[in-house]
A and B are shown apart, each in its own frame.
Chain A
Amino acid sequence: MAVLGLPLVALIVRAPWAQLPELLGRTETIAALLLSLGTSALATIVSVILGVPLAVVLARSASWPAIPRRLMRALVTVPLVLPPVVGGVALLLLLGRRGLIGEWLNAWWGVSIPFTTSAVMIAQVFVAMPFLVLAVEGALRSSDRRFEVVAATLGASRFTVFRRITLPLVAPAVAAGALLTFTRSLGEFGATITFAGSFPGVTQTLPIATYLELQRDPNAAIALSLLLMGVAVIVLVSLRDRWVPGVTA
């Protein structure tokens, strides 16, 4: 417990409380905060849009052959265990100016993704979406599929069953997963700084700003850390009663 708790205590004890309003009111801080909140929110929305269908496919894959099924599961889990920096390097190799896809994006459309705000969001989706997928998949697996049978006997098409029964039944897991995705995105550092760099106002998110401030103005770094911790606490409190099996398992 001491290992887990004391660092946070130190953070709170050493916080420059008197200077806090001034430190947090700086334009760079607010820019970094808004950038972080904005990209994380967007990353969460994208994760829900892409992740829920993926979770459905995973949860319904029991009848598939073993190899594609395991391969897909591994692909979803990899970002959870992969060092974020490696994720960032991989994203550069895919979407960078000379990347597998990036080269064509650049040649055909003149689009270059690395070191833009979009890159920040893509890095966050890569790192954080698995949390949502696994939470929703767990809930889908444990939900009673006979509800779907009953809905079908009442004349509901497959789409209606999904929209009015399947999805609402796992809605708490979608919410919990989205919240975890959001916090993971908010804290994302390694993949972001590798793939998107650190341009103030464009790609310099709150964690990156915190790291840089530590070398320039430690008090500012502490203030930013408190801010990030505050957001984490808010999320933790709102999750308290909605911890779903798929997330904890």
Chain B
Amino acid sequence: MSLSASIRFARPGFQLSVDVEAEAGRTLVLVGPNGAGKSTTIGCISGSVAFDDGWIRAGARVLDDTSTGEHIPIESRRTGVVFQDYLLFPHLSVLDNVAFGPRSSGMSTRESRGRAHEWLDRFGIADLAGRRPPSLSGGQAQRVALARALASEPDILLLDEPLSALDVEVRDETRAELAEHLADYGGVTIVVTHSRDDVLALADDVIVLENGSVVQRGAPADLTRVPATAYVRRLMA
């Protein structure tokens, strides 16, 4: 399965025009300065932001097509999202946060909790199962948010600045672990970041966005070797 998107989005003072091709089993990193349109792009892919013109396809499935008016609602898109601040449901235990997706797909409470336990085990955080999200450290919350997104078995996984909320000391370790989990994941992954370290550690492919347009595409090494703009040169230096 692959993701193919062509998105045109205009608001007063902001225009976004981006085409995205992403392969299953690979990680695409969207990088760019603040306000470049990175989060809007993944908002469009997740279905939470409506765009003006274009289409989004996941394999043979049309998620959006403005020319035919097709639009698959968020809950049916099979798109997992990890936000910058993780947004774990504060009133549910860690286990029930992770079980939320399986439960929503029609599993019984017991089955979905069993599934959630497997994910927590795989992430090495089974001991957190009974905890409430507000009591977790940033690194723990990040792992739970990723486990929760993966537990609903999405075709597409979207990570919006997944490491920027973490303290520097735990960021490297969490990033390395994230890279391992993403390598195990079989679907399309898109990571939004403005960090060079994230690009180098996570990306198979990179798209650089500036002011709502793509300024460069390639592998991380291409960006270092032939930076297309001053921003890219500074980013990879």
Cβ-defined partner of B90 (8 Å) among A146, A164, A169: A169
Given A152-B74, A155-B104, A164-B100, are A146 and B89 neighbors across the interface (CB < 8 Å)?
Answer: no
In this complex, how many residues of chain B approach chain A with their Cβ under 8 Å: the count is 25
Contact A147 B105 (CB under 8 A): no
Please report the C-alpha to C-alpha distance between residue A161 and residue B100 in the assembled complex, in whole angstroms.
10
B105 cross-chain contacts in A, Cβ below 8 A = 155
A158 cross-chain contacts in B, Cβ below 8 A = 75
Tell me if A156 is interfacial: C-beta within 8 Å of chain B: yes
Contact with A along B143-182 (1 / 0, CB 8 A): 0000011001010000000000000000000000000000
Q: Which residue of B lies closest to A158 (CB)?
A: B75
A153 cross-chain contacts in B, Cβ below 8 A = 46-48, 74-75, 77, 79-81, 149, 152, 154
Please report the C-alpha to C-alpha distance between residue A152 and residue B100 in the assembled complex, in whole angstroms.
10
B90 cross-chain contacts in A, Cβ below 8 A = 169
Tell me if B51 is interfacial: C-beta within 8 Å of chain A: no
Contact B46 A147 (CB under 8 A): no
Contact with A along B66-86 (1 / 0, CB 8 A): 000000011111111101000
Q: How far is the CB of A149 from chain B (nearest CB, A)?
A: 5
Residue of B74, B83, B90 most packed against chain A (CB within 10 A):
B74
Q: Which residue of B lies closest to A155 (CB)?
A: B104
Q: How far is the CB of B102 from chain A (nearest CB, A)?
A: 9
Summed over the interface, the residue pairs from A and B with CB atoms below 8 Å come to a total of 61
Q: How far is the CB of A154 from chain B (nearest CB, A)?
A: 4
Contact B48 A155 (CB under 8 A): no
Please report the C-alpha to C-alpha distance between residue A152 and residue B89 in the assembled complex, in whole angstroms.
13
Contact with A along B87-110 (1 / 0, CB 8 A): 101110000000011001100000
Please report the C-alpha to C-alpha distance between residue A110 and residue B202 in the assembled complex, in whole angstroms.
75
Contact B87 A150 (CB under 8 A): yes
Contact B104 A157 (CB under 8 A): yes
Contact A147 B104 (CB under 8 A): no
Name the interface residues of B129-152: CB closer than 8 Å to any CB of A: 148-149, 152
Please report the C-alpha to C-alpha distance between residue A146 and residue B39 in the assembled complex, in whole angstroms.
13
Cβ-defined partner of B75 (8 Å) among A147, A152, A164, A171: A152
Please report the C-alpha to C-alpha distance between residue A154 and residue B145 in the assembled complex, in whole angstroms.
11
Contact A154 B80 (CB under 8 A): yes
A149 cross-chain contacts in B, Cβ below 8 A = 46, 48, 74, 81
Contact A151 B100 (CB under 8 A): yes
In this complex, how many residues of chain A approach chain B with their Cβ under 8 Å: the count is 20
Please report the C-alpha to C-alpha distance between residue A150 and residue B75 in the assembled complex, in whole angstroms.
9
B154 cross-chain contacts in A, Cβ below 8 A = 153
Cβ-defined partner of A156 (8 Å) among B80, B87, B91, B100: B100
Q: Which residue of A lies closest to B152 (CB)?
A: A154
Tell me if A53 is interfacial: C-beta within 8 Å of chain B: no
Contact B75 A155 (CB under 8 A): yes
Name the interface residues of A28-57: CB closer than 8 Å to any CB of B: none
Please report the C-alpha to C-alpha distance between residue A120 and residue B46 in the assembled complex, in whole angstroms.
51
Contact B83 A154 (CB under 8 A): no
Q: How far is the CB of B103 from chain A (nearest CB, A)?
A: 8
Name the interface residues of B29-48: CB closer than 8 Å to any CB of A: 46-48
Given A156-B100, A160-B104, A164-B100, are A151 and B89 neighbors across the interface (CB < 8 Å)?
Answer: yes
Q: Which residue of A lies closest to B153 (CB)?
A: A155
Tell me if A230 is interfacial: C-beta within 8 Å of chain B: no
A156 cross-chain contacts in B, Cβ below 8 A = 75, 100, 104
Given A150-B83, A154-B80, are A169 and B101 neighbors across the interface (CB < 8 Å)?
Answer: no
B48 cross-chain contacts in A, Cβ below 8 A = 149, 152-153
List chain B positions with a Cβ less than 8 A from chain A.
46-48, 73-81, 83, 87, 89-91, 100-101, 104-105, 148-149, 152, 154
List chain A positions with a Cβ less than 8 A from chain B.
144, 146-147, 149-158, 160-161, 164-165, 168-169, 171
A sample of 15 more A-B contacts (CB under 8 A), given A149-B48, A150-B87, A151-B100, is A146-B83, A151-B89, A152-B47, A153-B46, A153-B74, A153-B77, A153-B79, A154-B100, A154-B148, A154-B149, A155-B76, A155-B104, A164-B100, A165-B89, A169-B91
